[in-house]
Structure 1
Amino acid sequence: MIHSSLDMFLSARRPLLEKGPVALIFVEDDVEVAATLRHHLQSGFKSVVALMPDGFDLPADVTARIERVSFDCGRSEEVFAAVNQVIRAASPGCWLYYCYNAEFLFFPFCETRTVAEMLAFHTEEKRSAMLTYVIDLYAGDLEAQPDAVSLSDAYLDKSGYYAQARYIGTNSTPEERQLDFFGGVRWRHEEHIPWTSRKIDRISLFRARADLELLPNHTFNIAEYNTYACPWHHNLTAAICSFRTAKALKRNPGSSFDIQTFRWRNSVPFEWHSRQLLDLGLMEPGQWF
């Protein structure tokens, strides 16, 4: 179904936001839009909402299965405002997810289980949010793929990830069960990345509640939503495998000519399978077997 605005979608399709999970896909450009939407449809979301400019075309088979909302992602502030608008409209407890085009959600055992099954288990563990690591993908041959995007020749970093204690404001004590995570292309080319954009952690899966607000740094105003696990044991985490950073670095004139390749000694082909991400420690199955 096609909606002329986010307000129109929320008015016409509010029943979709009663339980979820609902995926919000923010389309910034025309790169791999259909592939992104198909991937999340196959992941088992109850509804996939594409917030995108009117001028972008979609295949008929994709259009028939999604909610298309006219939206301009030109400013990051608009994306955060839209997510918060959906949070306010959703029923408390509804599972929501957000990402951008050319980003692909992977979670433990996603080849045989759905995101709804995973979130049902996560809910039983009294968790209302799930940490996702944004893992940078990049084309192996930038001469063949100058925009750094290639689904058939994608690479990722197998190492170079690390975490630091998270301090908020002037607090001298680190936040409990919160860490700032770094790595990937943003770490290796940090001279081209604003320091506010270098983290790779994002709380992409979460349950709506009346007082919840997404902040501009991809965290929430409720501390427990930003934790990677409960106090008693490890919990599930997921990964968003994303071409977004590599794509931006090659489009930006200030960095494009400085980067001839994203590959280095710790680059490995991306296998498009959750087992690889689990083996590399880039997501955690927790108690879900």
Structure 2
Amino acid sequence: MHYPDLAAFLSDAPKRLKKGPLALVMVEDDVEVASTFAHLRRFGFAQIIAFAPPELPFTTEATDVIRVDHDTSSDQALQRMLNGTIKALPGVWLFYCYNAEYLHYPFCETRSVGEMLSFMSEERRDSVMGYVIDLYARDLTARPNGVDRTDAYFDKSGYYALALKDAGGEPLERQLEIAGGLRWRFEEHIPKDRQRTDRVSFVRARAGLQMLADKSWSLPEYNTYACPWHNNLTVAVPSFRTAKALRRNPGSRDAISLFHWPQSERFDWTSTQLLDLGLMEPGQWF
């Protein structure tokens, strides 16, 4: 199915998409689009919706992928898509990512995304905190766009967390700013507002919920990594997006000849590796 614009999709969504979870993919370019869909398909999402510029040539013959023409490079494109979808589909669990990003959650090899969200609902949580893990190719001569799924690497250390503060300088309860990966090592090439790696990856749509300009959520509890009484499950989103950006920009491309460094580790595409390194946690889900 193909919608000519966001408005047409949002008008039709309440009739066609009453149940989730839904995967919302912001397609920015033609890199690893099919592999992104294939990866999400493994987890049992009720539907994958791809938002992409009209001129981007990819097709959606698969019945579980809906294409929506949407200028994903425009200002606040993500917020317009998410906020419209939230308003159209109250009560539905939504996951969002970009192409060349690959969701992992604890035990995802044997448990569906529906099982994970059912557990989070039992925990009285309406959001799931995630952390973007920068992936990159080892050989940038052979892989000039920085993307290599067959030989992907990431930083196994070098991550840090700072407490987020309110306008008065007081720490916000259970809210953290996470940094690390390529965005930390090459911060001089990354705008300050794009250096954070924490991302609330799943939300359950409800009245009054909106993603704000800084990508935080209008309901404060949605921005927290855990409930007040114990730690909750978190997810990871290994992503080539930063590597692509650093290789696409002429200034950073000419300044950076290698992403690989002594703290690089080859990604084995398992949740176990990410759990062992503390890049996500199962909370009380065993």
Q: TM-score scaled by structure 1?
A: 0.96
Unaligned runs of 5+ in 2: none
**Is 1:194 equivalent to 2:187 in the alignment?**
no
Amino acid in the other structure paired with 1:87: I
CA distance in 1, matches of 2:245, 2:75: 14
**Maintained 8 Å contact 1:180/1:201:** yes
**What does residue range 39-188 of structure 1 map to in structure 2 within 5 Å?**
39-58=39-58, 63-91=62-90, 93-169=91-167, 171-188=168-185
How far is 1:76 from its partner?
Answer: 4.2
CA distance in 2, matches of 1:107, 1:77: 27
1:28 aligns with: 28
Q: For residues 70-110 of structure 1, what are the alpha-carbon distances to aligned partners after superposition, in whole Å with 9 as ceiling and x for unaligned?
A: 1111124112111111111112x210111111111100000
How far is 1:11 from its partner?
Answer: 2.3
**Is 1:248 equivalent to 2:245 in the alignment?**
yes
CA distance in 1, matches of 2:95, 2:234: 13
CA distance in 1, matches of 2:236, 2:93: 17
Amino acid in the other structure paired with 2:56: F
Q: TM-score scaled by structure 2?
A: 0.97
How far is 1:55 from its partner?
Answer: 3.2
**Maintained 8 Å contact 1:28/1:73:** yes
How far is 1:16 from its partner?
Answer: 4.6
**What does residue range 204-283 of structure 1 map to in structure 2 within 5 Å?**
204-283=201-280
**Which contiguous aligned blocks of 4+ residues in structure 1 show a shift greater than 6 angstroms?**
none
User: Using a 3 Å threshold, how does the CA distance of structure 1 residues 251 and 116 change in structure 2: closer, same or farther?
Assistant: same
How far is 1:216 from its partner?
Answer: 2.5
How far is 1:21 from its partner?
Answer: 0.7
**Maintained 8 Å contact 2:23/2:40:** yes
RMSD: 1.3
CA distance in 2, matches of 1:15, 1:260: 50
Unaligned runs of 5+ in 1: none
CA distance in 2, matches of 1:27, 1:141: 25
User: Using a 3 Å threshold, how does the CA distance of structure 1 residues 193 and 60 change in structure 2: closer, same or farther?
Assistant: closer
1:3 aligns with: 3
**Maintained 8 Å contact 1:6/1:69:** yes
CA distance in 2, matches of 1:25, 1:183: 24
CA distance in 1, matches of 2:285, 2:17: 26
How far is 1:43 from its partner?
Answer: 1.7
**Maintained 8 Å contact 1:25/1:98:** yes
CA distance in 1, matches of 2:22, 2:82: 12
CA distance in 1, matches of 2:60, 2:84: 28
Q: For residues 212-234 of structure 1, what are the alpha-carbon distances to aligned partners after superposition, in whole Å with 9 as ceiling and x for unaligned?
A: 01012221011100000001111
CA distance in 1, matches of 2:138, 2:267: 10
How far is 1:235 from its partner?
Answer: 0.4
Q: For residues 171-199 of structure 1, what are the alpha-carbon distances to aligned partners after superposition, in whole Å with 9 as ceiling and x for unaligned?
A: 22100001100100000000111111111
**Maintained 8 Å contact 1:10/1:86:** yes
SS at structure 1 position matched to 2:252: helix
CA distance in 1, matches of 2:8, 2:108: 33
How many pairs align?
A: 286
Amino acid in the other structure paired with 2:85: V
CA distance in 2, matches of 1:120, 1:112: 15
How far is 1:59 from its partner?
Answer: 5.7
User: Using a 3 Å threshold, how does the CA distance of structure 1 residues 161 and 88 change in structure 2: closer, same or farther?
Assistant: same
**Maintained 8 Å contact 2:30/2:58:** no
CA distance in 2, matches of 1:16, 1:45: 15
CA distance in 1, matches of 2:143, 2:72: 24
SS at structure 2 position matched to 1:176: strand
**Maintained 8 Å contact 1:17/1:89:** no
